[in-house]
Structures are given as C-alpha cells and as structure tokens.
Chain A
C-alpha cells in the first residue's frame, strides 16, 4: 500500500461517513475507527511489499519493513492534512544499512528529527566502503523503515521525511 492508496481510503471513509473500516491483505492490516478519535493502524509487515521474498542474511533478525506510507494518523479523520508532502528516501545502492557512523555512536537521525538538505541520514556500507546517504530535502523524519545492520537492496525504502 502506498501513500496515494491510503489517502484514497481515508477519503472514502470520510466521504461515506464510515465509523469503522478494516482492510486485510498480504502483509497488511489496516483498521480505521472513527469514534471521536481515530486510529489508523498500519502495522509493520514481515516482508517488504511485493511478490518476491527479500534476501535475509543468516545473522540478522528479519527486517520489519513497514508498508510504505507509514503515516501515524491520530485524531479525527477530518483533521488529516489534505496535502502531505512525504518524501521517501530510497537506497541508491545495495549494501548494509547503518544508523550511525560507528557502533557506539548515536544515530545520525531519529524519528522526529528535523533535517536539512545535505544532512547525513545514514550510512550504506558496500564492500567495506562507507557511503553516506544525504537528505535531499528539508523536513522532519517521520519514519525509519530499516533496522540498523540490515541489508538493503537498490531502491529499498529507508526513511520518510515530511518536507517543509
């Protein structure tokens, strides 16, 4: 499920004034409840969306790669912002994802952090070369899709940044 699809569903819920909506599919369960407060749950799926299984190395635990539009919506449906500019940062290379520059160092960014264009978000290591991945946007980090030390494929979703 991507952000467009989620927005479409939220629009439909609002349009038809539904109080309860549930959707279950491959690796996805979506529950929208409207009762003075709305919780839209998009629980993490055990595997990335797509037909084919993702390679998982023996040493790491399975990556909780949540569905792409992991937008934590709280409050009434009406107050969901109509135009959310969510930029998804994808890996430009295949390699291993690291949140920080060294094992003991703090992560470059955490959820909620404000980032500027050019700021380092993470490191992807390939063949012992540490590649810094810079943000292309100014904004707020709203999600991190990959766990520290996980392998990532080319094009895999890493971060969601709400652009400002």
Chain B
C-alpha cells in the first residue's frame, strides 16, 4: 500500500481524497497555488508545497511542478481528483516514467477514451449501442433517405465542419428530409465554407444516464449502478441522483453487463463512468467514457455503501476488488445538489468572504466541501463550493431530506444556487421523476411570476 499520496487538485475533491487517505493510514501531500495558501485541504494535508501562482496553467495544470513536488516529498502515488490533470495521459505517462503511481487508468486507456471518434468505434465493436449516424457526409437525396430510414426518425442534419447549433436541422418525417439537407448544406457553406452535412439520430429530450465501474488489475470488474444527471444548465450538472427514476431492475442489469463487457474489452482499470443518452423509449446511446472520479460519485456511494476513492487507491496499489458483482447491493435513493457560488437567477459568479457557513446534520445527510466560516472563495477556479448529498429509504424521502437540509443551510457573505435547487426540488415534474436534459431550459424559461409562486 502507498505510504504517501500527492493530491494533484484542490478544493472539495482534495478534501475527499484526504478523507480516504487518512482512513487508510496514508500520508498526504497538498500542492497548491498562491490563491489557495489558506485553503482547507492545505491545512489538513500532512505536507504541502506551493507550486505556482493562482493561474491554473502555472499551478494545478503544471505537470513539471506537480511531479517535482511529488519527488521532493517522496510521494509514491498521485491522485488527480477530477478536472485539472485527471484525464491527462501525459501526466499518467510522466508518472510511469518517474515510478510514481497514477491513481487512475493507464495512459493508453485515457488516450483512447479522450479521442471521442476512436472511442465510439471501439465501443461499437464491443457491443455498446451508439448514436447511429451516417458516419460521413451524405451524398445525394436517395442515399440520404436510405440512411435516415436506417437510423430511424427523427434525425438531425449537421454540418461536418460546424458547431454551435448552426447548420443543424431536425427532421421528423421523410418528406422533409430533402429540403432540410439542402438548406443545411447552404447554411454550412455560408457559415463554415464547407457544405458537407451528415445525419445522426436525434434523441428527443434525452436523459443523461451514466454507469459507474471499478476494475482492478486482476481481471475483476464491477458496476455500481447508474446515476441520472439530466438536470444541467449549459452542460453543467446541477443536481444528480441514483438510481435513475427511469430505469427498471432489468434495464440496469442489461446496461450494467454491456458496460462491463465494454470495459473489459479495452482492459479498463480503476474507476470510470460510461455516459449515455437515454431516449423516452428506454433506448441507450453511448456518449463517452470519463476515465476519472466524477463529481457526483457520492450518490453512488450512498446507495451501494462502496467508498469509491478508497477503492481507487486500493486498485492502484494492486489489490483485488473486495466485491463481486453479485455482492453489490443498491439500497434506497440518493440526491446530490452542487452548491455554486453564483447568483441563483443570473448565474453571475459570487466569489468573496464567507462570513457564516453552516449545514445541518441529521440522518441521511452528507456534506462535501472545502468552505467554512471566514474562508475566502477566490475567483480563479470553478464556482462549486460544496456538494450536499442526501440519502433516503426511497426517492420521496431523499427529496424531503434534501429540502429540509437546504432550507436549514446558512451561507452568508456570498450568493449561492441554493434557492434555485429548492425551486427544482419543488417542481412537479422533478418530483414525478420526469426529467431530461431539456428540464433546465424549460424551468428557467418560465415567466418569473410562476417562479415566485413556486418559491412560496
């Protein structure tokens, strides 16, 4: 087992890693930027090294600085957390070269999954359902119609050179296809200089459902169920839960075994998350694999009782998984709210000095944070200051617990997104489990009159 782990991260996840290390009797090294001099993870780590100025590129993303700090402190492993260098095949390789264990998958797997096009091809070969598409520009009306028929309507026409929503057209019936392709081609030519378009299945109001896996270096591989992360604003998750209200036990078993087979096919090791879009008919389409710990991992931990960070460390140290798939149990329901230092209506960042920070306890409540009374939230890093997680016997209890916990949370000095979370929790669609990635757009687009009514 490792003697000393360097945490190549900051804030709330650095604290999370310290919890696991302390429980395992492993010493910790915190690396920090000038802006994080007084940060909680620095205070609680056994050793610390200031590695750069506030700017992430020169500190938390600075591979030579991180490795140098590891060598100077004699750390035998590095946990990269999430974000920053957690999916850097380069860091993983440098670690290998310096005989420091990188707590995560191999550089080859990280690189493979980081190449989205390659990952799709490999996953398709491994039997994972992927979003069907024309796999190249469409040539001619007849070919387009055939491909669209194979894919199944609705389809979306997209510019190959494009992005940002331009040169895109949703087509719901064969009669509209020709016109849509011609228009999209014209738009693409005008906007991007290249008139090529391709077809892809259009998933109406999809759910974002992801599966957590753990693989050891002895062939052991298990999944820990799924998380529903559909409540997103601009592709940033706000609220996550496990299990997904839309999955049956049968669907979980089926997708779980598909994911395990795919992970084994690429010789995946350590923790990973397979992300899918799920359409209203319960069909799954592969999006990508995140080769790291995820922010929302606590909801899986609450439902399965597995400490994912400790398992990451154990796996990296060469130990076998302590659970077989048949021993993985799912109990109750868990929710997580990401508390951001932002205005709950305008989402303008709200850094500054937190004068009061108080989160209640009680059964089924878990707090993950680096914030405390009298701490300063700096403007240099992402705005998430805390995660509040609840667990209940069932979804209604988990929701009730989250509601009363947020209502009794006091954070003064900065603005937070807690009022927004409370409004989401009171939403009838959310309560009914009727969520999709379109939820937040609908929610935020509602006239303020009805939002006031909800707040009351």
Interfacial residues, chain A to chain B (CB-CB below 8 A) = 50-55, 57-58, 93-96, 126-127, 129, 151, 153-156
Contact = CB atoms under 8 A, between A and B. Distances in A.
Interface string B61-76: 0001101110111100
B47 A55 contact: yes
Given A52-B42, A155-B34, A93 B65 contact: yes
Given A52-B48, A154-B52, A127 B72 contact: no
21 contacts: A50-B37, A51-B43, A52-B42, A52-B48, A53-B48, A54-B48, A55-B72, A93-B52, A93-B65, A94-B68, A95-B68, A95-B72, A126-B64, A126-B65, A126-B68, A127-B71, A127-B98, A129-B64, A151-B72, A154-B53, A155-B53
Nearest to A93: B65
B64 A55 contact: no
B68 A55 contact: no
Kindly list the 9 A-B residue pairs having the minimum CB-CB distance in the complex, ordered from nearest.
A153-B50, A55-B47, A126-B68, A151-B72, A94-B51, A154-B50, A154-B52, A127-B64, A55-B73
B65 A154 contact: yes
Name the prevailing secondary structure of the B interface residues.
mixed
B73 A94 contact: no
Contacts of A57: 72-74
B43 A52 contact: yes
B29 interface: yes
Contacts of B14: none
Contact of B48 (A55, A58, A126, A155): A55
B371 interface: no
A154 B37 CA distance: 12
Nearest to B53: A154
A96 B73 CA distance: 11
A129 B63 CA distance: 13
Nearest to A125: B68
B49 interface: yes
A132 to B, nearest CB: 16
Nearest to B72: A151
A96 B72 contact: yes
B390 to A, nearest CB: 34
Judged by DSSP, the binding face of A is loop
A94 B63 CA distance: 11
Contacts of A58: 74
Given A55-B49, A155-B34, A94 B72 contact: yes
B65 A53 contact: no
A155 B64 contact: no
A158 B405 CA distance: 49
A137 to B, nearest CB: 21
A93 B59 CA distance: 10
A153 B73 CA distance: 11
B72 to A, nearest CB: 4
A32 to B, nearest CB: 30
Contacts of A156: 50
A153 B49 contact: yes
A159 B13 CA distance: 36
B26 to A, nearest CB: 16
B37 to A, nearest CB: 8
Nearest to A153: B50
A110 to B, nearest CB: 25
Interface in B24-65: 29, 34, 37-38, 42-43, 47-53, 59, 64-65
A107 to B, nearest CB: 21
A88 to B, nearest CB: 15
B49 A94 contact: yes
Contacts of A127: 64, 67-68, 71, 98
Contacts of B67: 127
B376 to A, nearest CB: 15
A154 B51 contact: yes
A30 B25 CA distance: 41
A153 B94 CA distance: 21
Given A57-B74, A95-B68, 17 more contacts: A51-B38, A55-B49, A55-B69, A55-B72, A55-B73, A93-B68, A94-B51, A96-B72, A127-B64, A127-B68, A151-B49, A151-B72, A154-B34, A154-B50, A154-B51, A154-B53, A154-B59
B445 to A, nearest CB: 46
A55 B74 CA distance: 10
Given A55-B72, A151-B72, A94 B65 contact: yes
Given A58-B74, A126-B64, A53 B47 contact: yes
Contact of B50 (A51, A96, A155): A155
A48 B42 CA distance: 16
Contacts of A54: 48
A140 B411 CA distance: 51
Interface string B81-121: 00000000000000000100000000000000000000000
Nearest to A150: B72
Contacts of B37: 50, 52
A96 B48 CA distance: 15
Select the residue from A57, A94, A126 with max chain B CB neighbours within 10 A.
A94
B113 to A, nearest CB: 27
Contacts of A51: 38, 43
